[in-house]
């Protein structure tokens, strides 16, 4: 990995890490519905501008059904769920829970294909669950109904991200990812508009809250996705997904610097466990088998044979 690609990955990690901080600013004032819808609308406008500059068609007439269905599952609902979770969970917690997407991807793939994952991936699932449990049990938050709802909403959003990735692969194939992302943002934001209107605050938000929402949409979603696809094209999937390791770290740093959220030992330990789990799932840890784990019966047959 050359210095340019590494620098772009760091910048992307910094931007996506800041998204959880911005949600902690906007959600208490304008609500989860307005935050989710506003973020997607600003991001969609940004990517539409990029597509116009690149002279790439959106293909709305041909793909609008896919844009709406996949957009709701992979963007609309998850972003709204994270906004709901931002009511009660610190930004660092949100980022760590967001990093559990690969765990759900392994479990969904196992359930759908019935092919056992490698020992490394199974170990990653176990370690990831331990990381989330560490946050929940030993964190500085009181485990009441709002925080339980926050954990459930964030984990459900991560589950939807994993489901949405599979759906997008099945429906879009080798289509231009920048075009697909713009279409999904538009399609996924449509059902959120009535929710945003129904839950809109009575008074206009302050300039700081408005700026946070604009930054959340334009910078943390629109520009971030454009940068992500730029890195993906230059460096490939395997190197690009390493940004998953950077996002929780920067989220903890930004929240501590600008929101005064403490970095407790439980938060640091939970974050470390989840990041180690992601490394195991990506099979980046030496010493763990990459072959599928055999069933007990199959193992006995080989030993007896």
| pLDDT digit string, tens, across residues 121-155 | 888 899 999 989 888 887 778 889 999 999 999 99
> Where do we find the tokens 């990459």?
290
1 has pLDDT over 80: no
24-45 pLDDT, tens per residue?
999 999 998 899 989 999 999 9
Q: Which of 106, 110, 129 is nearest to 282 (CA)?
A: 106
Choose the weakest-confidence range: 44-53, 105-114, 265-274: 105-114
Choose the weakest-confidence range: 9-23, 174-188, 197-211, 280-294: 280-294
Q: Which of 88, 107, 108, 195 is nearest to 152 (CA)?
A: 88
User: Which of the four pLDDT bands, split at 50, 70 and 90, describes residue 297?
Assistant: very low
When pLDDT is averaged across residues 205-219 and rounded to a whole number, the result is 94
Burial class (CB in 10 A: 0-12, 13-18, 19+), 149: middle
Which one is predicted more confidently, 284 or 266? 266
The rounded distance, in Å, linking the Cα atoms of 287 and 295 is 21
Domain boundaries, the chain: 3-304
User: Which of the four pLDDT bands, split at 50, 70 and 90, describes residue 12?
Assistant: very high
pTM: 0.85
| Secondary structure string (H, E, C) spanning the chain | CCHHHHHHHHHHHHHHHHHHHHHHHHHHHHHHHHHHHHHHHHHHHHHHHHHHHHCCCCCHHHHHHHHHHHHHHHHHHHHHHHHHHCCCCCHHHHHHHHCCHHHHHHHHHHHHHCCCCEHHHHHHHHHHHHHHHHHHHHCCCCCCHHHHHHHHHHHHHHHHHHHHHHHHHHHHCCCCHHHHHHHHHHHHHCCHHHHHHHCCCCCCCCHHHHHHHHHHHHHHHHHHHHHHHHHHHHHCHHHHCCHHHHHHHHHHHHHHHHHCCCCCHHHHHHHHHHHHHHHHHCCCCCCCCCCECCCHHHHHHHHHC
Query: What does pLDDT average to over the chain?
Result: 85
User: Which of the four pLDDT bands, split at 50, 70 and 90, describes residue 296?
Assistant: very low
293 has pLDDT over 60: no
Cβ-count burial 4-15 (b if 16+ within 10 Å, e if not): ebeebbeebbbb
Choose the weakest-confidence range: 2-6, 13-17, 20-24, 46-50: 2-6
């Amino acid at each position: 990995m050359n210095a340019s690609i590494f620098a772009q990955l760091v910048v992307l990690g910094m931007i996506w890490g800041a998204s959880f901080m911005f949600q902690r600013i906007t959600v208490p004032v304008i609500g989860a519905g307005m935050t989710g819808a506003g973020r997607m609308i600003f991001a969609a406008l940004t990517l539409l501008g990029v597509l116009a500059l690149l002279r790439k068609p959106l293909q709305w007439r041909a793909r609008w059904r896919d844009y709406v269905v996949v957009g709701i599952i992979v963007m609309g609902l998850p972003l709204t769920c994270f906004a709901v979770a931002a009511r009660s969970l610190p930004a660092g917690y949100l980022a760590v829970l967001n990093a559990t997407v690969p765990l759900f991807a392994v479990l969904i793939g196992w359930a759908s294909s019935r092919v056992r994952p490698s020992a490394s991936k199974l170990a990653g699932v176990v370690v990831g669950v331990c990381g989330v449990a560490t946050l929940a049990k030993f964190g500085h938050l009181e485990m009441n109904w709002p925080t339980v709802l926050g954990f459930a909403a964030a984990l459900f959003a991560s589950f939807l991200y994993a489901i949405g990735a599979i759906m997008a692969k099945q429906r879009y194939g080798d289509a231009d990812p920048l075009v697909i992302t713009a279409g999904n943002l538009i399609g996924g934001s449509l059902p959120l508009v009535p929710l945003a209107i129904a839950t809109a605050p009575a008074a206009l938000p302050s300039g700081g809250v408005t700026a946070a929402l604009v930054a959340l949409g334009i910078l943390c979603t629109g520009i971030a996705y454009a940068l992500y696809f730029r890195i993906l094209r230059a460096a490939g999937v395997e190197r690009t997904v390493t940004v998953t390791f950077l996002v929780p770290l920067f989220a903890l740093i930004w929240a501590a610097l600008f929101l005064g959220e403490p970095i407790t030992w439980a938060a640091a330990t939970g974050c470390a466990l989840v990041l180690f789990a992601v490394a195991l799932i990506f099979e980046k840890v030496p010493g763990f088998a990459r072959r599928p784990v055999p069933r007990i019966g199959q193992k006995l047959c080989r030993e007896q044979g």
